[in-house]
């Protein structure tokens, strides 16, 4: 049984699929006007762990992630760079896919629809909303959703406009009949240049929210199982998706809404606008493997705020290094996966993706009294969910001979037993072999001299 925290019911629920043995997931993807930052990547790592957990439980997974390749920012920045919208957004889409690959998120297992390739579907849905009286055309030709017509508005986020008159509703999406009505369609104006579509509902381009209603239904139907995104999208984006889809089709849009907490820096949300964002490449340039970042993310539940620091990344690097060393010492024989340890692991990961506890079970495997071959098999089995490429440990560390790693392990034990003489002699042996052992906060690291 898989349990997930559902933002809609504000409780942890047992997951029940629409189709037995299958799950449909829709994850809000990037707006490709710039490079994604590691906060965004936290959201995609969370979605990937969800994806892998269902696979691990024998589900067939259909996973959609949209690429927002038209909006105010993509238009503004492509024009100021003198590029077509497509050339401009392609550059960042490619870079985004490279980041996924580096984080062992298998792009081949997802479908990535692009907003600009789904304009017809959006026009169709907007027409339906106009016909049903949920949408209206403003003087300039833009089309808005009339929030007051949709009685369930606010059920996801708890927002209540009559109660909360305070205006967090400040941007240009809200300039209409009612302050909070949002744009489904934006009529062309000069600053859009050559970015527009001539359609039955006029010349213009879609608002942001409508693409997710359309691309999810096209690929997964309505209702579908799980929708993910960061908590910053609950309002207004996901609230608006619900309004559009449920008003148009008069049925539930999504059964389970799952939201990841934010990656923070110095107590503030990491975001481009605050200029406190890092890219995956910044991490790589400082000498960290991308999977060290993935490992760091797994130490905190997706539903907890997480403060990013370089010290924490350094600790994750050492932790992952130690884990790999231990795996290297298990030898090359792959035995049987331990059923009881798999049960323990599933109990944690199936409990709303409790990755910190799942990692603790991984350590239990290494400490257990099963054979090394069985440990290796079990660890590699867990890695189907964790995605740390632990199967590559052997080839990666090939240049560190096993006896050197054995010396280092023995030295660690000697130090723990306060046998410093033995520890020093082992250090000398490591050094003779052409390597250096460095002590770290969580253990040690062996490097070539
Ligand atoms: P955006 O491109 O801003 O729409 O964001 C893409 C995804 O990243 C969404 O699911 C956001 O909720 C998520 N996201 C944005 N900033 C952060 C952050 N600092 N920490 C975690 N997730 C984030
Ligand atoms: Zn979305």
* Per-residue confidence in pLDDT tens, the chain, 449 aa: 999 999 999 999 999 999 999 999 999 999 999 999 999 999 999 999 999 999 999 999 999 999 999 999 999 999 999 999 999 999 999 999 999 999 999 999 999 999 999 999 999 999 999 999 999 999 999 999 999 999 999 999 999 887 665 444 444 444 467 888 999 999 999 999 999 999 999 999 999 999 999 999 999 999 999 999 999 999 999 999 999 999 999 999 999 999 999 999 988 999 988 999 999 999 999 999 999 999 999 999 999 999 999 999 999 999 999 999 999 889 889 999 999 999 999 999 999 999 999 999 999 999 999 999 999 999 999 999 999 999 988 655 556 788 888 899 899 899 989 999 999 999 999 989 888 888 865 677 787 77
Distance in angstroms (rounded) separating the CA atoms of residues 119 and 215: 10
Report the separation in Å between the CA atom of 39 and the middle of ligand 1, taken as the mean of its atom positions: 6
Q: Whose CA is nearest to atom 8 of ligand 1?
A: 40
Tell me the best of 33, 36, 40, 112 to mutate to test the pocket of ligand 1, counting ligand atoms within 8 Å of each CB and taking the most: 40
CB proximity list for 181: less than 8 A, separation 6 or greater: 144, 145, 146, 147, 174
Q: Is the CB of 271 under 6 A from ligand 1?
A: yes
- Residue 39 Cβ inside 6 Å of ligand 1? The answer reads yes
* Rounded CA separation 270/40 (Å): 9
How much is the pLDDT for 442? 61
- Nearest ligand to the CA of 71 is 1
Radius of gyration of the chain (CA): 25
Ligand 1 centroid to residue 281 C-alpha, Å: 17
Ligand 1 in contact with 228 (CB < 6 A)? no
Check if 37 has its Cβ closer than 6 Å to any atom of ligand 1: no
Distances from the Cα of 209 to the Cα of 71, 150, 305, 379, angstroms? 10, 16, 25, 41
Does 232 sit in the ligand 1 pocket, CB within 6 Å?
yes
270 lines ligand 1 (CB under 6 A): yes
| pLDDT given for residue 174 in this prediction | 43
Instruction: State the pairing for strand pair 110-111/60-65.
Output: parallel
Per-residue pLDDT at 147: 96
The answer to whether the CB of 65 is under 6 A from ligand 1 is: no
pLDDT at res. 434: 84
CA distance 34 to 209: 19
Q: Residue 168 has what pLDDT? A: 47
Residue nearest atom 15 in ligand 1 by C-alpha distance: 40
The contacts of residue 317 (CB under 8 Å, 6+ apart) are 288, 289, 292
Query: What's the pTM?
Result: 0.89
User: Tokens standing for 350?
Assistant: 């199936």
Other CB atoms within 10 Å distance of the CB of residue 163: 9
Q: Is the CB of 235 under 6 A from ligand 1?
A: no
Is residue 42 in contact with ligand 1, taking CB distance under 6 Å? yes
pLDDT of residue 166: 47
pLDDT score recorded for residue 395: 56
pLDDT at 449: 72
In whole angstroms, what is the distance from residue 212 CA to residue 400 CA?
49
SS3 89: helix
Q: Report the pLDDT value the prediction gives residue 445, as an integer from 0 to 100.
A: 76
Residue 231 CA, closest ligand 1 atom number: 12
Q: Residue 157 pairs with which residues in a beta bridge?
A: none
Please give the pLDDT value at position 332. 86
């Amino acid at each position: 049984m898989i349990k997930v925290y559902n933002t809609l019911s504000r409780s942890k629920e047992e997951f029940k699929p629409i189709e037995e043995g299958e799950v449909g997931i829709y994850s809000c993807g990037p707006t490709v006007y710039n490079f994604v930052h590691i906060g965004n990547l936290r959201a995609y790592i969370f979605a990937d762990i969800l994806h892998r957990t269902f696979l691990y439980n024998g589900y067939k997974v259909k996973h959609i992630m949209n690429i927002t390749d038209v909006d105010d920012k993509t238009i503004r920045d492509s024009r100021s760079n003198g590029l077509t919208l497509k050339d401009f957004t392609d550059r960042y889409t490619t870079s985004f896919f490279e980041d996924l690959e580096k984080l062992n998120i298998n792009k081949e297992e997802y479908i990535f629809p692009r907003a600009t390739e789904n304009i017809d579907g959006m026009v169709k849905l907007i027409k339906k909303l106009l016909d049903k009286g949920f949408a209206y055309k403003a003087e300039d030709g833009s089309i808005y959703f009339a929030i007051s017509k949709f009685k369930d508005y606010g059920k996801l986020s708890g927002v209540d406009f009559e109660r909360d008159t305070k205006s967090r509703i400040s941007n240009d999406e809200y300039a209409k009949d009612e302050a909070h009505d949002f744009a489904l369609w934006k009529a062309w104006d000069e600053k859009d240049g050559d970015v527009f579509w001539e359609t039955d509902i006029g010349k213009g381009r879609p608002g942001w929210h409508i693409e997710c209603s359309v691309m999810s239904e096209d690929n997964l139907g309505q209702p579908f199982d799980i929708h993910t995104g960061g908590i910053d999208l609950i309002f207004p984006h996901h609230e608006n998706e619900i309004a559009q889809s449920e008003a148009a089709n008069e049925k539930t849009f999504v059964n389970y809404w799952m939201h990841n907490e934010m990656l923070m820096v110095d107590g503030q949300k990491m975001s481009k606008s605050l200029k406190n964002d890092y890219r995956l490449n910044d991490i790589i340039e400082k000498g960290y493997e991308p999977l060290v970042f993935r490992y760091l993310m797994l130490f905190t539940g997706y539903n907890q705020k997480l403060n990013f620091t370089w010290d924490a990344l350094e600790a994750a690097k050492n932790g992952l290094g130690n884990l790999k060393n231990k795996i290297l010492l298990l030898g090359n024989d792959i035995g049987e996966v331990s059923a009881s340890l798999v049960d323990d692991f599933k109990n944690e990961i199936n409990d709303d993706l409790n990755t910190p506890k799942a990692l603790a079970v991984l350590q239990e495997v290494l400490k257990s009294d099963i054979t090394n071959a069985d440990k290796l098999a079990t660890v590699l089995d867990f890695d189907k969910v964790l995605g740390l490429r632990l199967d590559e440990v052997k080839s990666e560390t090939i240049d560190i001979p096993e006896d050197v790693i054995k010396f280092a392990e023995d030295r660690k034990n000697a130090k723990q037993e306060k046998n410093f003489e033995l520890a020093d002699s082992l250090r000398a042996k490591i050094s003779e072999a052409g390597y250096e052992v460095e002590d770290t906060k969580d253990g040690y690291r062996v490097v070539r001299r």
